[in-house]
Structure 1
């Protein structure tokens, strides 16, 4: 991609899955990456992968719901790597379960990790980039475009990411900040978060609820593999396929794209 070499990126949730793939893909393009996560060994493994391929990266422990920690992360990035020009707000969780049995605590946890963190990360990036410019990329989901039984809180949080990203893009433009803000909406991607979400959903629902949802999803059983096979392309996507879109949005090749929702779902929402 054009003009990425020498830039600096922060990628949250970089210990595995989409976050790791994004960090590795950006580093491959010559970007210095600060890989953050609460999973310290996983984040360090991501850095090791990057360094083995000749890239530059640093890992940091990061609870993305902690407002004070965001200030520390931005200071660390500027001190050790330079001013960030790319922010990838990827960290998230998927807490499944039927609404009738869903707890307020789980609802609030879902919102804090998926929605509050995107606000904190976007605000921190806007403060750092308002003069020098940059690209903010927020990971949403196709669950942020349409409702899906069994993952109501996840849908709500990802729908919030979608509209918050659009509002932030408009605000940056009207304030004259050279910052682009976009959201990416993956479909079914073969990652630990997807597998855990389905496992938790099946563990917390009754047999009748599971049977009803299986019918609605066109699967014989409510499992990650069965749902993926039901997608138009007949398979789950890979984290690297999302990372390719992140690299594009981080680069000057997308210089006039802001406030948009980029769907990468193998035609699931078609």
Structure 2
């Protein structure tokens, strides 16, 4: 059964004001989706909306703190009213609060867990009913190669590993309703977040990139469009038999 609402489905992308999220929003719009560009700062989302509209697509900017239950409820209701029921959800919103374990504050732990895990839970829970009603949906959660362990990122690594378990459980629970759930685990992607990581490590971004690329089989760093292309596959009609998977997009094999 396919979504009967119309020829245009609605996709909701969190953390979409910049970086991976912006690239995903623009790609999904190019694929024909109406896109809700979600981030904390609505004004920061507007340049992405403008890119989509200039290309002939449809998008709106929505302010939402994904860790706030009331804000998620209100934001999703606005998306439904202005674009239609979201049957594609990309949980991309993320923050880092890196530090070695003995220096990591409880607030640093809670903030990262709140955005990545609680946020993905709240947004997915708010949207899944629209998917099950029409018998079609796609959920994509952004994990990370850090889920395999990453020095100075106990909070981030644990959250990203948790998203993989969350994804597999969604696939089991929602599959009979025509809804798939998959996770993407990016490796080194050139974004503001990786620039912040370089700063934390006390080196320039160019130095960090050069060091990392030496270990990447395809001999380059990733860019947000690499992840956007992968999302495009997971939400396509052709990927309807792919669910509960974690795809490492890292320029080489990961265990």
Same fold (TM over 0.5): yes
Confirm or deny: 8 A CA contact 1:231 1:267 kept in the other structure.
Answer: yes
- Contact kept, 8 Å, 1:187 with 1:268, in 2: the verdict is no
Q: CA deviation at 1:5?
A: 5.8
Unaligned stretches of 5+ residues in structure 1: 204-220
Residue 177 (structure 2) aligns with: 177
Partner secondary structure for residue 177 of structure 2:
coil
For 2:110, the equivalent position in structure 1 comes to 108
Which residue pairs with 1:255 in the alignment? Answer: 240
Does the 8 Å contact 2:13/2:91 carry over to 1?
yes
Give the whole-Å Cα distance in 1 for the aligned partners of 2:181 and 2:81: 24
Task: Please name the residue that 1:81 is paired with.
Answer: 83
**4+ residue stretches of structure 1 with deviation over 3 A?**
none
Is the Cα–Cα contact under 8 Å of residues 150 and 201 in structure 1 kept in the other structure?
Answer: no
CA drift of 1:46 comes to 0.5
Q: How far apart are residue 96 of structure 1 and its match?
A: 1.6
Q: Aligned partners of 1:111 and 1:129: how far apart in 2? A: 26
**Structure 1 counterpart of 2:212:** 227
Name the SS of the counterpart of 2:43 in structure 1: helix
**2:244 alignment partner, SS class:** coil
Q: Secondary structure at the match of 1:131?
A: helix
Aligned to 2:101: 99
1:207 alignment counterpart? none
Q: CA deviation at 1:163?
A: 0.6
- In the TM superposition, residue 268 of structure 1 has moved relative to its aligned partner by 5.1
The RMSD of aligned alpha carbons is 1.9
Relative to structure 1, the CA distance from residue 177 to residue 113 in structure 2 (aligned partners, 3 Å threshold; closer, same or farther) is same
Give the Cα separation in 2 of the matches to 1:226 and 1:5: 46
Deviations 1:59-91 (A, max 9, x none): 011111111111112211111111111101100
Aligned to 2:139: 136
- TM-score where L is the length of structure 1: 0.87
The more displaced of 94-103 and 248-257 is: 94-103
Please tell me whether the aligned partners of residues 90 and 142 of structure 2 are also in contact (alpha carbons under 8 angstroms).
yes
| C-alpha distance in 2 between matches for 1:119 and 1:106 | 19
Give the Cα separation in 1 of the matches to 2:207 and 2:96: 16
Instruction: Name the counterpart of 1:266.
Output: 251
Alignment of 1:1-270 (within 5 A): 6-132=8-134, 133-144=136-147, 146-173=148-175, 176-202=176-202, 223-267=208-252, 269=254
Normalization by structure 2: what TM-score?
A: 0.92
CA distance in 2, matches of 1:5, 1:229: 45
Moved more, 121-130 or 16-25: 121-130
Does structure 1 retain, via aligned residues, the 8 Å contact 2:93–2:115?
yes
Q: How many residues align?
A: 248
